[in-house]
Amino acid sequence: MAISDLTSLITHWKLNEASGNRLDAHGTNTLGDNNTVLQGTGKIGEAADFEALNSEWLSRGIDTDFQLSADEDFTWAVWVKLESKPGNDMYFFHGASGAADKDTAYAIRWDNTGDRFEFVLGDETSAGIEAADNLGAPALATWYLIIVWHDKAANTINIQVNDGTVDSSAWANGTNSTFNGATELGRRSWSGAGTYFDGLLDSVSFWKGRVLTSAERTELYNGGAGLDYPFGV
């Protein structure tokens, strides 16, 4: 079982470290530690354990590896486990050029109003938000593989959880080419207050210029066991 190749993979964070900076297993995009993100049992090895009450997050500063052209394919994949459902949204990762959804280059979050995982993408003028309605309300203390992508040929934004039915919407506005902020795990960049994540993240991957195939997404899920980097290649 394997991903066909590692073409266009920009970064993969295993998040196995006990604390401190988190290394990029594929590239050079080390994540900085803010307020001491510790370790917990992961889906694949160990995971980063975020405590919202401590305002913990991991961050990568402005980096061209994470900047997008005006209309670009990309895919993010992350294993997520919620430890609570507070009265505010929680961001698993976020990259943006401003505080509003329309300024978001990419984000995956849990939306407290609808009790859904959501994929957010903006073009500086408007925002596309795709909820994982086919999954429904996620459970606490349960691992979920969330994969999101922008398909420039199909003009869609998409979210899939645990290799289930894809939620997809039309989106012809391209991607955010003015993104010039940090990429952060565990909170919303630009506006961290009240958006910190309470839970665990594991095995985070970013492909730029590429949409994974349905078969590759199935391989990443691997029947619920996950597939560790380098994904059998």
The whole-angstrom separation of Cα 114 and Cα 57 is 24
Q: Which two tokens stand for residue 230?
A: 């380098």
229 in a structural domain: no
For 92, the token pair is 């698993």
In a domain, 214, yes or no: yes
Task: Give how many domains the chain has, as a whole number.
Answer: 1
Q: Which domain holds residue 50?
A: 9-222
Average the pLDDT over each of 34-43, 101-110, 153-162, 191-200 and give the range with the smallest value.
191-200
Q: How far is CA 132 from the centre of its chain?
A: 14
Q: Name the nearest CA neighbour of 143 among 81, 85, 186.
A: 81
Task: Say yes or no to pLDDT of 58 above 80.
Answer: yes
The length of the chain is 233
Highest mean predicted confidence (pLDDT) among 61-70, 89-98, 184-193, 201-210: 201-210
Where residue 201 sits, what CATH number does that domain have? 2.60.120.200
Residue 73 lies in a domain: yes
Please report the pLDDT score of residue 190 as a whole number.
72
199 occurs within a structural domain: yes
Q: Extract the tokens encoding 194.
A: 């009240």
Q: Which two tokens stand for residue 131?
A: 């909820």
Residues 210-223 as b/e (b if ≥16 CB within 10 A, e otherwise) read: bbbeeebbebbbbe
Measured distance CA(133)–CA(135) in Å, rounded:
5
Give CA–CA dist 17/116, Å, rounded: 29
In a domain, 50, yes or no: yes
DSSP-derived secondary structure letter, 36: -
127 found inside a domain: yes
For the stretch 138-183, pLDDT in tens is 999 999 999 999 999 999 999 999 999 999 999 999 998 888 788 9
Residue 122 is assigned to a structural domain of this protein = yes
Contact 49, 67 (CB under 8 A): no
Residue 4 lies in a domain: no
Of residues 186, 179, 220, 195, the one with CA closest to residue 22: 186
